[in-house]
Structure 1
């Protein structure tokens, strides 16, 4: 369905989104049951990247409260267009320091903290904006543990604790936990269950030093079950809810 068609037939798009959302909720319910976890332990974040603000509004009407974006140029405009809605905005993409001031203007949580310079820039921007604390997750690059994927976003597992300490000590920032994406390289590539189990080990070490850092953000449309089994508290789902469409601009 094109953008114009979605505007002309909002009822049809609403039905599509409801069906996708219901299917994902059933998957999370089943994954929690299989893992022996209460459903309340897992939060669904709907990743609305490449989809219009009209979809975000329809999702909100269906009860969605947590949404994510990965590009500031899309997210800033969408957040402004949906400012009247009771949404929590998660920024999940690689974040350049020149975009920090904009992201701090709308994001409630940044999942992609991967270097000290970014911690410093986020802290300074939050203080300038005089806004409430910004939640931060340390992005873990599991492929870097094996020396692969050096160009990918995220910090090597061996460096997670030091970066977590820096976030926790930074004025205006709140260390909430860790995030990962199933790796494409290294010994854990193609094995999301093992990758997410490794993330759980790292998350446990972070919590030992910072007990309030309880978020574990892992799992997408293709591997949410493995993430829930491993202990993820937040799953980031886009395609399985919204369907496949061409990217915006």
Structure 2
């Protein structure tokens, strides 16, 4: 018997997938080009299990202190954990043990920390990594600023322990989403010219996924539209 929470998430999932499909249709793209990453920060491991039962196997987390124990509690090898929040270098050793991808690589020092951690963890394969881009060049909000994006990308690509996948960004609060994601698309294009396999664009959340998909997003990071605005557990 399906419990009420699973039914709630299932209804939300239908709506989110419909939004993705409509956005892809408007952009002349296939929905198969867009991966839904369910952001489960502050929600319990059981919700991750519910999402997996509903067919969502890409899960995003923002804080290692929460993500590590949650990944261990879920214990499902089919779930792919995406670390999407700002990452402190001293957390790299923990993150590489459970994450399939880190979307928020924004400095050369963090690249070095992840490489060192991945080597020591003896991962069976490279860690997928994306360069987080600061679209407004505000160094205090996370993201590589203009002039550093290519350097961080090159450092990732140079390490056999990491695999450069593409770029990630969050639209600044005071920007129109279309302006933000158009800029990210241009930056992504430059990265792909130099690194053809770096085709991921991680962009778009619950309130702006349509604009992100219009501008080429391949991974949308959706939290509240899937899990609701109820008081979170844990």
TM above 0.5, yes or no, is yes
> Cα distance, 1:159 vs. partner?
1.7
Aligned residues: 233
Q: Which residue of 2 aligns with 1:114?
A: 106
Moved over 4 A (4+): none
Unaligned ranges ≥5, structure 2:
none
Secondary structure of the residue aligned to 2:139 is coil
Unaligned ranges ≥5, structure 1:
1-8
How many angstroms apart in 1 are the aligned matches of 2:23 and 2:146?
A: 26
Q: Which residue of 2 aligns with 1:33?
A: 25
How many angstroms apart in 2 are the aligned matches of 1:198 and 1:84?
A: 37
Does residue 141 (structure 1) correspond to residue 134 (structure 2)? The answer is yes
How many angstroms apart in 1 are the aligned matches of 2:225 and 2:146?
A: 29
Pairs within 5 Å for 1:155-234: 155-184=144-173, 189-234=174-219
Secondary structure of the residue aligned to 1:143 is coil
Q: Which residue of 2 aligns with 1:72?
A: 64
TM-score by length of 1: 0.91
How many angstroms apart in 1 are the aligned matches of 2:233 and 2:185?
A: 34
Secondary structure of the residue aligned to 2:128 is strand
Q: Which residue of 2 aligns with 1:15?
A: 7
> Cα distance, 1:194 vs. partner?
1.1
How many angstroms apart in 1 are the aligned matches of 2:231 and 2:2?
A: 18
Deviations 1:131-175 (A, max 9, x none): 01000000001111xxxx331100113321111001111230110
How many angstroms apart in 1 are the aligned matches of 2:187 and 2:143?
A: 13
* Aligned-residue CA RMSD (Å): 1.3
Secondary structure of the residue aligned to 1:135 is strand
Deviations 1:189-230 (A, max 9, x none): 330111101100000000001011000000000000000000
